[in-house]
């Protein structure tokens, strides 16, 4: 996760993660850029190994803006198709910002797997 999660300008040496991927388990992930520290956390609501993760999502700076993320994995030929669905976002600005963040993370994940 250190290799791919977060903004493209995240300092990898600042990355911290506490993850307990079971129903009711919590996660907290933090990282820094040159300008700011970011921390997000939530609770796992569904866990199906190698298939599905559903978890709440709230930034430390705005805990009242809890949303939900669903990550599904499907076999796809010799690989895996991953779908990320982030819903219940506060407004269109939050939606757009999270879309940019997820796209940056997934681009970095693809590069780290190559």
User: What's CA 36's distance to the chain center, in Å?
Assistant: 18
Global pTM value? 0.90
Quick: pLDDT tens for 92-101: 999 999 999 9
Q: Summarize pLDDT for 30-72 with one digit per residue, the tens.
A: 999 889 999 999 999 999 999 999 999 999 999 999 999 999 9
Query: Hunting for tokens 């940019």 — which residue is that?
Result: 100
27 forms bridges with which residues in the sheet? Answer: 19, 42
What domains lie within the chain, and their CATH numbers? 11-113 (3.30.530.20)
Position 21 confidence tier, pLDDT thresholds 50, 70, 90: very high
Alpha carbons 100 and 95: distance in angstroms, whole number? 9
pLDDT of residue 6: 81
């Amino acid at each position: 996760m250190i290799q791919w999660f977060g903004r493209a300008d995240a300092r990898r040496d600042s990355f911290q993660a506490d993850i307990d991927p079971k129903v009711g388990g919590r996660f907290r992930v933090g990282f820094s850029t040159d300008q700011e520290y970011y921390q997000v956390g939530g609770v796992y609501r569904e866990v199906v190994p190698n298939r599905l993760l559903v978890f709440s999502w709230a930034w430390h700076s705005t805990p009242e803006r809890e949303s939900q993320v669903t990550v599904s994995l499907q076999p796809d030929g010799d690989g895996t198709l991953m779908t990320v669905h982030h819903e219940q976002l506060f407004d269109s600005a939050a939606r757009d910002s999270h879309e940019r963040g997820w796209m940056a993370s997934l681009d970095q994940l693809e590069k780290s797997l190559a």
